[in-house]
Amino acid sequence: MKLLAAIALGGAAGALGRHFVAAGMVAWFGHGFPIGTLVVNVVGSFVMGALVETMALVWSPPLELRALLTVGLLGAFTTFSTFSLDVVTLYQRGEAAQAALYIAASFVLSVGALFAGMRLLRMVLA
């Protein structure tokens, strides 16, 4: 139960962080380009890399804190950071082809699923 509470707490903080960063970017740059999403994804991926490396080399926090920071906070701040970690993990295991397949499949299937969801709802609601 403590683990779930830690993830939920981190998730709430990450979602709020995402909102405020994205809103700040829109206030600075306008709506023309999704700079807020880009900034969130890049910052989240950088922080995930730094955090995972720190936990691997010099810091071993309790499972609840690890989950709060990675799954909760960064997972809600940007799922792209988790995606990036998965790609790098595959690559570092010597599975470059699997990493490339994961990148391609994630992009094609996720964007395709978004279009499919939109089309389905248009058909149902029209």
pLDDT at residue 17 in the model: 97
Structure tokens at 48: 């995930």
Structure tokens at 31: 């709506």
Please list the helix, strand and coil fractions of the chain in percent, rounded to the nearest 5, in that order: 85, 0, 15
What are 118's two structure tokens? 């939109």
Cβ–Cβ < 8 Å for 48, 82 = yes
Q: What is the pLDDT of residue 79?
A: 78
| Pair 22, 32: CB distance under 8 Å | no
Which pLDDT belongs to residue 108?
A: 94
Measured between alpha carbons, how far apart are the two ends of the chain, in Å? 44
- Helices 35-57, 2-29: axis angle to 10 degrees equals 140
pLDDT for 47 equals 93
pLDDT score recorded for residue 81: 84
Long-range contacts of 112-121 (CB under 8 A, 24+ apart): none
Q: Please, what are the averages of pLDDT over each run of 10 residues along the chain (126 residues)?
A: 98 97 95 89 91 95 97 92 90 96 94 90 88
Q: Is the pTM of this model over 0.85?
A: no
